[in-house]
Structure 1
Amino acid sequence: MTDTTQAHGPLVVEGKLADNERLKGESNFLRGTIAQDLQDPVTGGFTADNFQLIRFHGMYQQDDRDIRAERTKQKLEPLHNVMLRARMPGGIIKPEQWLAIDKFAAEKTMYGSIRLTTRQTFQFHGVLKPNIKLMHQTLNSIGIDSIATAGDVNRNVLCTTNPVESELHQEAYDWAKKISEHLLPKTRAYAEIWLDGEKLEGAHGENTEEPILGSHYLPRKFKTTVVIPPQNDVDVHANDLNFVAIAENGKLVGFNVLVGGGLAMTHGDKSTYPRKADDFGFVPLAKTLEVAAAVVTTQRDWGNRVNRKNAKTKYTLDRVGTEVFKAEVEKRAGIMFEASRPYEFTGRGDRIGWVDGIDGKHHLALFIENGRILDYPGKPLKTGVAEIAKIHQGDFRMTANQNLIIAGVATEDKAQIEAIAKAHGLMDNSVSNQRKNSMACVAFPTCPLAMAEAERYLPGLVNDVESILAQHGVSDERIILRVTGCPNGCGRAMLAEIGLVGKGPGKYNMHLGGNIAGTRVPKMYKENLSEQDILTEIDALVARWVAERNANEAFGDFVIRTGIIAEVKVSKRDFYD
């Protein structure tokens, strides 16, 4: 008999399975009755299990919460629509693809915008039921899909956006694509439902067996990155599995493997917490896919399928023990991890503006506040990007900080692209360092989980923080500031120097103590603050920082050194105590 217990706890959690396990098992490999639901004109939404199953196809059912109450008064159902998140490993998209998604957003979505996300891809918001199949077929016609960008699977694989070291970035990007393909669901459900059975390119869509994900898929969502130090723009500690690129003489030789990061938690439930990833060690390139599959299958078999709040990889590691999990990965992958190779993270922000690559090409990083690409009065951002796409000979790179890089610009094209960018408000030298280092999730009006505003709150909040910094004589400084509308972690507030987590309308929990490199989780400072309370606290904290800090000391380091907040060293132990 196999021993299923260890000193840290059982390898398999016993008990009544969560209902999601039933619906996955009964879904006929993610088909459900989605196709039938799609033909139902009575409702604008998806019913029963299909509400959950469409997530595995890259969509979330939403409604416009701003008008929900009014529609209820009129005895109408909520204005159901879907948000689609595309699968774009490494965030690279061609200009001709961009023009196609720009056209669809303008003509077939309720909001007309393209939303760049913290998962290094784009989202359509407000797609009504009659346009859903057209959306997938439009994307397929330009070589894009949305397979496994949501649901209990490995999601869009991130890769550091590093256009300067072009050869190293290309190698890392190629591995991000390989990992994405290797871990995708193999069911043909996506092709059958949305593409009328048309065969898809790549390894997915071939059969109904799931050799890596299994018939019940993963216990919970799973996130993977490929990161090139010293930039930690993908925030490795927000992810289940991370491959840290190790280069010698400018060539990729392997990866340090980090496992078990994650930021989501639940208000009032101390069994949930953000957690940093653990460093398992170094693997050579040839073993990359085997290790990726071994981590995923270990989590598949050992992850908690009884309580979804404790189902992520981070909780599995804490329950069974990191060394036990690591040994199982080594056994399944047929390798022994070597000692980790040295590396250092020095920052996370995108280098806004022009940078030159070692290949003689130029790269323009555009700051897109909240990632929302739309034509605003006096700032027609969406039109501007489309105009650049019409002439650009390189590619676009969506960043995990919600920005957009016009990459691979030849010297002779640089002036024309800059002129278009400036004319459409895409280049603005007045944008402060603070604004460039602030980020929010979508929240209201479309996210059904939102408890408080985030995207709509952030611009005004940054205005106020800029004023506070100016009053204290540090206008050029910045504090990594992030706002999420709920504790699920989409805006990565739990890796910020100041992280605001929505608790209710106009109310937020304030966390302090993250660092510039993104290697430290902040701790709750004060709970249930109003927007005015937040400004009062930030003002007082900045005053102390300016008066008492050491030379060049970052805000997050200062609040820990001076005892304003305790450092979170081990999340399970320190986050709430």
Structure 2
Amino acid sequence: MSTPDQDKNELDKTLLHLGPGEGSKVEHIKVESNYLRGQIVEELAQDTPRFTEDQVQLIKFHGMYQQEDRDARQARKAAGAEKAYQFMIRSRIPGGALTADQYLVQDDLSERYGNHTMRITTRQSFQLHGILKGNIHATINEINKSLLSTLAACGDVNRNVMACPAPVSSRAQAQIQEIAHKLAMHLAPKSSAYHEIWLDGEKVASSEEPEVVVEPMYGTTYLPRKFKVGVLYPGDNCIDAFTQDIAFIARVEDEQLVGFTAVIGGGMGATHGKKETFPRLGNPLADVSVDQVLKVAETIITVQRDYGDRTNRRHARMKYVVEERGIPWFRQQVEERLGYQLSDPSEVHFHDVDHHLGWHQQHDGNWFLGLHIENGRLRDTETLQLKSGLRTVIKEFRPNIRLTAQQNILLIDIPKEQRAAIEARLQGFGIETDAEAIGAYRYAMACPALPTCGLAVAEAERALPGVVKQLEANLQELGLDGEKISFRMTGCPNGCARPYMGDVGFVGRSRDLYNVHVGGDWQNTRLNTIYAQNVNVKDIPSVLSPLFTLWRDEREAGEGFGDFCHRIGVEQLKERAAAQPVTR
């Protein structure tokens, strides 16, 4: 029987000699890139606003996407001008943990080189938008000087490792943050290309020179598609465990971390009209000890590396391997590569999704403050000086920072005597510190979508606030204000804001049209279901209003909106909603 390393080497050899039509184009680009170097240095030196197509695929591994301002597309086309190319640069921030200085570096770079905003992602990292090609090197270099990185924030590798961001209340919780960081370092690409291109400016090795094996886990082919890992504290599903390729859910006994239950095969992406693509919830695989986590994660990744679909990128995520081959097969593969058997998985239960908003006392006596950030976008407007206010408070009081999976921010390690002063400073900039005052939007998320994302077919970040405002008004009229309902919107079916989980999801179909999903649950352990297709954005409130009325009148004690919709069923909901009066 061949070893996993031999299997990987044979796979590499096969891909190195792919013939026409064999394997996706991206697979050829990766193999021929000399471990992610490609022609990035040469094209950086060219006086052009963009990279060529092959290099666009490679720069993702270095933490960026080439985009354009799609709002300007028609005017520039009419004027005969080139597209308004720009770049989104994403940092890798395990567990969303960073210092005051690191935050301020991101803020400064967004002002110097970006579009004067920062965006907290749904994977607890920062994105800087509007970076021009000539400023990419300086931006990435400065991020690394702050001891953060953009390496593997994008691309066909393991991406930012998520973890519960709340400050430690016990040694077990502290270990979760530590393990998230260790996983991020262990699973990162080992090629020196990133260091050469962005940090030292060393001459990239010629493709004619002999290569040494620099990617012991990934090989020259890396992964078939992106890969996502999260680490959770028991009971609180604040990072959506079942949407991860691997979720390590802590097992804690007497406040001691005794191990993890590994859940695998989750993923949100789908393609409209392609039934072979679909969102999927992860399945329990096995229990692992604390000492086994790194090796087990690596081994799971090698199975995906060797068996993931490299011909169809829409079908390349690990969720399809798990779905089609099954958990028993997958576990056997992992155990054979490990050389030992794993323990059967423990049952997994979540009782809440904690958004960590408002003031909370830490175990050490200090406090943390969770601030709601609408769609994760940090910017200044005429009515809310959010970006300036946070910059002022962080400069003056020097709190540590945590970013959340709901695109919010936590200011942590605050001494009790600073609370009143921080409150006053924030309120002076119009920043709300009372979670209850935020209203329905505190449970809402949207992806960036238009005008920057090349995949977007509809609005999300710019559309959801107006939709939720109207939905909130309808809920108030029904006496349902203050109820917990999660709303998630994406401008395409790839699911970056995880719209297939939670109570209500809106998935863009085309300009101003969305599929409306209902019937998930508050704890994010169940997929929701399409209720209505191709709904105009202005009609979303009238589509949901009859369901809110039914929920108010017929729900069981303590039953959430998603649970109610799931219990009744989509077909019954449609029939009964049709008899309800329309509210706009």
The structure 2 residue matched to 1:304, chosen from 303, 309, 331, is 309
Moved more, 242-251 or 142-151: 242-251
Task: Please state how far the C-alpha of 1:428 moved relative to its aligned partner.
Answer: 4.7
Q: How far, CA to CA, are the matches of 1:76 and 1:226 in structure 2?
A: 47
> Deviation per CA, 1:403-446, whole angstroms, max 9, x where unpaired?
00001111122222222222222225464442111110000111
Contact map agreement 2:507 2:514 (CA 8 A) in 1: yes
Gap runs ≥5 in structure 1? 3-10, 200-205, 568-577
Alignment match, 2:522: 516
Q: How far, CA to CA, are the matches of 1:231 and 1:127 in structure 2?
A: 36
Alignment match, 1:269: 274
1:299-448 pair list within 5 angstroms: 299-429=304-434, 431-448=437-454
Structure 2 residue 136 is matched with structure 1 residue 132: yes
Moved more, 439-448 or 157-166: 157-166
Alignment match, 2:50: 45
The structure 1 residue matched to 2:88, chosen from 83, 90, 105, is 83
Task: Please state how far the C-alpha of 1:359 moved relative to its aligned partner.
Answer: 1.5
Q: How far, CA to CA, are the matches of 1:563 and 1:73 in structure 2?
A: 49
Contact map agreement 2:252 2:258 (CA 8 A) in 1: yes
Structure 2 residue 466 is matched with structure 1 residue 467: no
> Deviation per CA, 1:345-397, whole angstroms, max 9, x where unpaired?
12224121101112211010000010111111121111111112113344100
Task: Please state how far the C-alpha of 1:566 moved relative to its aligned partner.
Answer: 9.1
Structure 2 residue 281 is matched with structure 1 residue 286: no
Contact map agreement 2:263 2:285 (CA 8 A) in 1: yes
- What SS class does the counterpart of residue 70 from structure 2 fall into? coil
Alignment match, 1:218: 223
- What SS class does the counterpart of residue 364 from structure 1 fall into? strand
Contact map agreement 2:502 2:523 (CA 8 A) in 1: no
> Deviation per CA, 1:101-132, whole angstroms, max 9, x where unpaired?
111111211x2001011010110000001111
- What SS class does the counterpart of residue 351 from structure 2 fall into? coil
Contact map agreement 1:466 1:475 (CA 8 A) in 2: yes
Alpha-carbon distance change, 45 to 543 in structure 1, aligned in 2, over 3 angstroms: same
Contact map agreement 1:452 1:503 (CA 8 A) in 2: yes
Q: How far, CA to CA, are the matches of 2:398 and 2:391 in structure 1?
A: 13
Task: Please state how far the C-alpha of 1:251 moved relative to its aligned partner.
Answer: 2.0
- What SS class does the counterpart of residue 386 from structure 1 fall into? helix
Task: Please state how far the C-alpha of 1:343 moved relative to its aligned partner.
Answer: 4.3
Q: How far, CA to CA, are the matches of 2:405 and 2:495 in structure 1?
A: 14
Identity %: 40
Q: What is the identity, as a one-letter code, of the residue corresponding to 2:453?
A: C
> Deviation per CA, 1:523-571, whole angstroms, max 9, x where unpaired?
111111112331111111101110111111101110121223599xxxx
The structure 1 residue matched to 2:40, chosen from 34, 39, 45, is 34
Q: How far, CA to CA, are the matches of 1:168 and 1:361 in structure 2?
A: 18
Alignment match, 2:195: 191
Task: Please state how far the C-alpha of 1:30 moved relative to its aligned partner.
Answer: 0.4
Contact map agreement 2:61 2:155 (CA 8 A) in 1: yes
State the TM-score, normalized to the length of structure 1.
Answer: 0.92
Q: How far, CA to CA, are the matches of 1:287 and 1:139 in structure 2?
A: 32
- What SS class does the counterpart of residue 509 from structure 1 fall into? strand
Q: How far, CA to CA, are the matches of 1:426 and 1:230 in structure 2?
A: 30
Alignment match, 1:113: 117
Alpha-carbon distance change, 551 to 433 in structure 1, aligned in 2, over 3 angstroms: farther
The structure 2 residue matched to 1:240, chosen from 245, 248, 264, is 245
Q: What is the identity, as a one-letter code, of the residue corresponding to 1:269?
A: K
Contact map agreement 1:183 1:293 (CA 8 A) in 2: yes
Contact map agreement 2:166 2:402 (CA 8 A) in 1: no
Q: What is the identity, as a one-letter code, of the residue corresponding to 2:184?
A: S
Contact map agreement 1:433 1:478 (CA 8 A) in 2: no
Alpha-carbon distance change, 378 to 532 in structure 1, aligned in 2, over 3 angstroms: closer
State the TM-score, normalized to the length of structure 2.
Answer: 0.91
Task: Please state how far the C-alpha of 1:342 moved relative to its aligned partner.
Answer: 4.4
Q: How far, CA to CA, are the matches of 1:168 and 1:29 in structure 2?
A: 38
Alignment match, 1:154: 158
1:172-211 pair list within 5 angstroms: 172-197=176-201, 209-211=214-216
Q: How far, CA to CA, are the matches of 1:565 and 1:152 in structure 2?
A: 39
Contact map agreement 2:432 2:438 (CA 8 A) in 1: no
1:457-536 pair list within 5 angstroms: 457-536=463-542
Contact map agreement 1:353 1:366 (CA 8 A) in 2: yes
Q: What is the identity, as a one-letter code, of the residue corresponding to 1:225?
A: G
Q: How far, CA to CA, are the matches of 1:72 and 1:191 in structure 2?
A: 38
- What SS class does the counterpart of residue 528 from structure 1 fall into? strand
Q: What is the identity, as a one-letter code, of the residue corresponding to 1:265?
A: A
Q: How far, CA to CA, are the matches of 1:246 and 1:38 in structure 2?
A: 48
1:527-546 pair list within 5 angstroms: 527-546=533-552
Alignment match, 1:575: none
Moved more, 315-324 or 272-281: 315-324
Q: How far, CA to CA, are the matches of 1:244 and 1:85 in structure 2?
A: 26
Q: What is the identity, as a one-letter code, of the residue corresponding to 2:169?
A: E
Contact map agreement 1:166 1:357 (CA 8 A) in 2: no
Alpha-carbon distance change, 176 to 73 in structure 1, aligned in 2, over 3 angstroms: same
Alpha-carbon distance change, 361 to 507 in structure 1, aligned in 2, over 3 angstroms: same
> Deviation per CA, 1:9-53, whole angstroms, max 9, x where unpaired?
xx9999821111100000000000011111111x20100310111
Q: How far, CA to CA, are the matches of 1:376 and 1:251 in structure 2?
A: 46
Gap runs ≥5 in structure 2? 3-10, 204-210, 574-584
Q: What is the identity, as a one-letter code, of the residue corresponding to 2:180?
A: A
Q: How far, CA to CA, are the matches of 1:261 and 1:566 in structure 2?
A: 29
Alpha-carbon distance change, 513 to 127 in structure 1, aligned in 2, over 3 angstroms: same
The structure 1 residue matched to 2:260, chosen from 255, 260, 263, is 255
- Give the number of equivalent residue pairs: 552
Q: How far, CA to CA, are the matches of 2:497 and 2:368 in structure 1?
A: 26
Alpha-carbon distance change, 164 to 354 in structure 1, aligned in 2, over 3 angstroms: farther
Q: How far, CA to CA, are the matches of 1:131 and 1:566 in structure 2?
A: 55
Task: Please state how far the C-alpha of 1:137 moved relative to its aligned partner.
Answer: 1.0
Contact map agreement 1:513 1:565 (CA 8 A) in 2: no
Contact map agreement 1:218 1:299 (CA 8 A) in 2: yes
Task: Please state how far the C-alpha of 1:509 moved relative to its aligned partner.
Answer: 0.6
Task: Please state how far the C-alpha of 1:330 moved relative to its aligned partner.
Answer: 1.6
